[in-house]
Amino acid sequence: MRKMTGQEFDQLVGFFDSMVQTSWLSGIHGELKGISGSWSNLSILDVGCGTGRLLMRGAEEARQLTGVDLSEAMIQSAQQVMKPYISKTNLSVGDACELPLQDDQFDLSLATCVLFLLPEPEVAMQEMLRVTKKAGRIITLNPSVYLTEEVAEELCRVSDMSEFEKTTLKQWSKVSQRRHRYDEQQLSDIWLKLGASSVENQFVYHKIGILTVVNV
């Protein structure tokens, strides 16, 4: 499996920024924020932060916001999105498999629609454990084993989503089948093997996505 480059993502800033604001993905991000609880006085990391939309959900309450993305163009866009909170925001270009961050730095680390794209997701998962404080948490979003192109087609058929939203959902299904999809046991086994203290999984959006809460 080939690792994608930052330059490839540079060409897709507009697409991904619009995708993260679709009803289905924005809804999942809303569920993630709800599960994560208050960000008050917390140091937050978003790995593969894209244009910063997820960080913005808790920007006002968080103490410190950090975003890392492989794409320089994504980071430039995130700097504009995060401008109202730039005084407590650190955005940088970096690789999820080799985070340019110190150990035990964050109270809450996030990664949505990122790990499943990587040839070796476990390397990035280990990095997230490294930079997250002991007793901190990690929350990730990945496509589940229930996401197939057929399921995506059916969801689009019965929904009132816009054509663009349908396109993004179908694209997520196509890419996930070429990359990685997970079930609950797989994710729990991987995180626990890497050293997590406990793991909880929750299916979202017709079970095609899976949110994983990792207690470090």
Q: What are the tens digits of pLDDT across the range 5-15?
A: 667 677 778 88
Phi, psi of 26 (to 5 degrees): -60, -40
Phi, psi of 46 (to 5 degrees): -120, 115
User: Looking at residue 129, what is its pLDDT?
Assistant: 99
pLDDT at 1 over 90: no
CATH of region 6-145+181-215, choose from 3.40.50.150, 3.40.50.1220, 3.50.50.60, 1.20.140.10: 3.40.50.150
The single-letter DSSP state of residue 62 is B
Question: pTM for the full model?
Answer: 0.95
User: Looking at residue 15, what is its pLDDT?
Assistant: 83
With beta carbons less than 8 A apart as the criterion, state whether 170 and 151 touch. no
What SS3 class is residue 26?
helix
Alpha-carbon span 42 to 197, nearest angstrom: 20
Amino acid at 25: L
Using DSSP, how many helices (H) and how many strands (E) does the chain show?
A: 9, 7
Give domain limits for the chain.
6-145+181-215
Task: Calculate what percentage of the chain has a pLDDT beyond 90.
Answer: 90
Task: Calculate what percentage of the chain has a pLDDT beyond 70.
Answer: 97
How are strands ordered across the β-sheet holding 89-93? Answer: 89-93, 64-69, 43-47, 106-112, 132-143, 209-215, 198-204
User: Looking at residue 6, what is its pLDDT?
Assistant: 64
Q: Which residues contact 47 (CB under 8 A, 6 or more apart)?
A: 68, 96, 99, 109, 110, 111, 114, 124, 127, 128
User: Looking at residue 214, what is its pLDDT?
Assistant: 99
pLDDT level of residue 57 (50, 70, 90 thresholds): very high
DSSP secondary structure of 92-134: EE-BTTB-SS-TT-EEEEEEES-GGGSS-HHHHHHHHHHHEEE
**What's the mean pLDDT in 165-187?**
94
Q: What is the mean pLDDT of the chain?
A: 95
Look at the block and give the residue holding tokens 């924020």. 33
Helix (H), strand (E) at residue 66? strand 64-69
User: Looking at residue 153, what is its pLDDT?
Assistant: 95
pLDDT level of residue 49 (50, 70, 90 thresholds): very high
User: Looking at residue 5, what is its pLDDT?
Assistant: 66
pLDDT at 73 over 70: yes
Q: What are the tens digits of pLDDT across the range 84-135?
A: 999 999 999 999 999 999 999 999 999 999 999 899 999 999 999 999 999 9
With beta carbons less than 8 A apart as the criterion, state whether 62 and 148 touch. no
pLDDT at 39 over 70: yes
**What's the mean pLDDT in 181-189?**
96
